[in-house]
Structure 1
Amino acid sequence: MASSMLHGAENIANIRGRVYPNGLEFNRSDLHGRKSFLKINLASGNSNLRGISKRLVVPKCSVSVPRPASQPRFIQHKKEAFWFYRFLSIAYDNVFNPGHYTEDMRDEALEPADLNSRDMIVVDVGGGTGFTTLGIVKHVDAKNVTVLDQSPHQLAKAKQKEPLKECKIIEGDAEDLPFETDYADRYISAGSIEYWPDPQRGIKEAYRVLKIGGKACIIGPVYPTYWLSRFFADMFMLFPKEEEYIEWFEKAGFKDVKITRIGPKWYRGVRRHGLIIGCSVTGVKPVSGNSPLQLGPKVEELRKPVNPLVFLARFLVGVMAGGYYAMIPIYMWLKDQIVPKGQPI
């Protein structure tokens, strides 16, 4: 019962694993057929795992749910994302964001980034209105933090926040960062990867800009298991599976890759609908220099002309799919109020 409450009541699969003080360690052969180990930290509900020994329950969204992986979703394009936030920025901090990414979630998601010095150089990629940056500057001097985003409308909101006045705030592309190699001690990106046409390229860039021993922390969505949520997720934007995050980090060259699961308290650990902010993934850069991964040309160039009718159709369909995910937190909050505590929702 405790495991069902933690991971969702539907579409779950058993995987052999062992309990460790800092989370769970799974034999990678269960996921990819290779003999290595993957550590997953469960940021909430660890106490519910006491007494579980040989077999553990994890969401099937991390293992075997089929989905098209190669085609970007309707809002998983830079131009659609730009216009999506042109309107969303108006009410982002006060209306949309609180249902998906609370201050408690933010602070919990940043813990694995080890922001342990005021003097660290930190880049916040896809920083938007600076919500995550506010969590960063609790631990790092604002003058050492750079906020980068492609949306001037989001960044305009960040510039208005007093704690961020000393931050460098610049426009830029997550797949082509304007920083020197071996520049930063920490790379943070929250709520951005879901819009990247080529997430592997973005993570490769994260590796490049970090110093040796630096840590990348990407905070993003998790893929749903519930059929209707999968349908809208596959139209809306990128909801990676957990093993996809791990694979992208490892291919880019990161070591000690870990996932910490997060979510709003009123979800009670249920992940079957997917979470727009659902996990925090970290990796350490082991050697200086560029990523060992070689990639071809960009999937999408901003300067490339776009058919305006095709653009409008994609944009409207993507926004409608996004409307579904705007309602999910309300639905889960209502269930949390109605269903007695201690029972799965």
Structure 2
Amino acid sequence: MLAAQPKTVGKRAETGCGRANFAFQRSARPLQRPFTQIVRQPLTVSHAAERDISAPRLIQHKNEAYWFYAGLSQVYDHIVNPGHWTEDMREDALLPAKLNDPKLKVVDVGGGTGFTTLGIVKTIPPENVTLIDQSPHQLAKAKAKPALKGVTILEGDAEDLPFPADSFDRYVSAGSIEYWPEPQRGIREAYRVVKEGGVACVIGPVHPTFWLSRFFADVWMLFPKEEEYMEWFTKAGFTDVKITRIGPQWYRGVRRHGLIMGCSVTGVKPKSGDSPLQLGPKAEASGRLNSNPLSFLLRLLLGTAAGFYYFVLPIYMYVKNLVWPKSWPM
């Protein structure tokens, strides 16, 4: 169980990125959801440059991710979600997105099989919701869900969204940023397509500190640090940036192993129009093989093997929670 006082993360500093509000606040939820926190400690971020975001990771590329999900889409809702992305976690993660008005227009970017979209349509009519993903295999699963009938479902690229500026009141992206070759570009796109005063919400992994978990995370795909999320949002132009920590209940708040779904990051667009951040051409395009076929296949196989660690980890944590005394730290 988390302590009564929120844990402080980071410190106050001055950089060219400006100031961002990085704070934990307690969820309004009952205490049976012990892992939800929101950051309130002011922090200006300067740490993202300490590691190479563009370092080669086996599945953090569009084509590898495309084929990885071609197989995983068949079992995603039944194998992945129970250990990493539960309905309770989804509810907590969407709370900061303020989906509190049925008139809101919402885009779910990298929405995959529509699991997150199912949470969105609880308060937003399907006809006001757009789901976009690069994987036709994942989208086929979303289209088959009766609750998503009426949702606009499109195939597209999170780093190059096919919408005009100021198109949506809310932007949501869950479990997608870890595959973006350029996360800053994807968050810049989030800023562009949201209307003035609108909220963008990115839900994704958090970086582990335990050596073995860190090894598998760093070779598999992108597990951002909380400071990196903050910097990307701030550079894109968002204000009132906050991070809500989430996680499976049976982890008892443990984060040293990292989490595939570990935080919900939100920011507010202060004025209409494009992002103040200007970037060059995209590093990768969907549907284009960026390496020779043998190298691609090797990356895909090794990446899938590395990812297996994170399918076993929640089982280990679940069993540990059952046998470990509640008074002992996990």
The partner residue of 1:285 within 264, 269, 288 is 269
| CA deviation profile, 1:283-342 (whole Å, cap 9, x unmatched) | 000010000001111111233553000101111111111000111100100100010123
Q: 1:42 and 1:216, CA in 2 relative to 1: closer, same or farther beyond 3 A?
A: same
Is 1:257 equivalent to 2:206 in the alignment?
no
**Unmatched runs of 5 consecutive residues or more in structure 1:** 7-18, 48-55
**Tell me, what secondary structure is at the counterpart of 1:38?**
strand
Aligned to 1:90: 74
Are 2:93 and 1:109 aligned? yes
Q: Is the 8 A contact 2:17 2:235 kept in 1?
A: no
Report the equivalent of 2:144: 160
CA 66–39 in structure 1, closer or farther in 2 if over 3 Å, else same = closer
Identity over aligned pairs, percent: 63
Out of 114, 127, 133, the residue aligned to residue 130 of structure 1 is 114
Aligned twin of 2:192: 208
Q: Is 1:176 the equivalent of 2:187?
A: no
Distance 1:33 1:305, change over 3 A: closer
Letter in 2 for 1:39: F
Shift of 1:72: 3.8
Superposed CA offset, 1:26-71 (max 9, x none): 64329x6988453222557998xxxxxxxx99xxxx9799754321
CA 35–76 in structure 1, closer or farther in 2 if over 3 Å, else same: closer
Q: Extract structure 1 runs of 4+ deviating beyond 6 A.
A: 32-35, 44-47, 62-66
User: Per-residue deviation at 1:116?
Assistant: 1.2
Of 12, 34, 40, the match for 2:23:
40
Give me the TM-score of the superposition, normalised by structure 2: 0.89
1:306 is aligned to 2:291: yes
Q: What secondary structure is seen at the aligned counterpart in 1 of 2:74?
A: coil
Distance 1:107 1:71 in 2: 33
Q: What 5-or-longer segments of structure 2 have no aligned partner?
A: 32-39
Name the CA distance, whole Å, in 2 between partners of 1:316 and 1:43: 41
* Structure 1 residues 294 and 65: alpha-carbon distance in aligned structure 2, compared to 1, 3 A threshold: closer
Cα offsets for 1:67-119 (capped at 9, x unmatched): 54321411000000000000000100011221000000000000000011111
Number of residue equivalences: 316
SS at match of 1:29: coil
What's the counterpart of residue 29 of structure 1?
A: 13
- How far has the Cα of 1:163 moved from its partner? 1.1
Q: Secondary structure at the match of 1:283?
A: strand
For the residues of structure 2 that align with 1:63 and 1:224, how far apart are their CA atoms?
16
Q: Letter of the aligned partner of 2:229 in structure 1? A: Y
* Residue matched to 2:35: none
Secondary structure of the residue that 2:203 maps to in structure 1? strand
CA RMSD of aligned residues (A): 2.7
Aligned to 2:257: 273
Cα distance between partner residues in 2 of 1:314 and 1:211: 39
Task: Pick closer, same or farther for the CA change 1:83–1:336 going to 2, 3 Å.
Answer: same
Note the alpha carbon deviations across 1:252-299, whole angstroms, 9 max, x for none: 000000000000000000000000000000000001000000111111
Q: Among 296, 302, 317, which residue is 1:317 paired with? A: 302
AA of the residue aligned to 1:134: L
After TM superposition, the score normalised by the length of structure 1 is 0.85
2:48–2:231 CA contact under 8 A, matched in 1: no
Residues 37 and 85 of structure 1, relative CA distance in 2, 3 Å threshold: closer
> Structure 2 counterpart of 1:199, which letter?
P
CA distance in structure 2 between the aligned counterparts of 1:74 and 1:111, rounded to whole angstroms: 32
SS state at 1:281 partner: strand
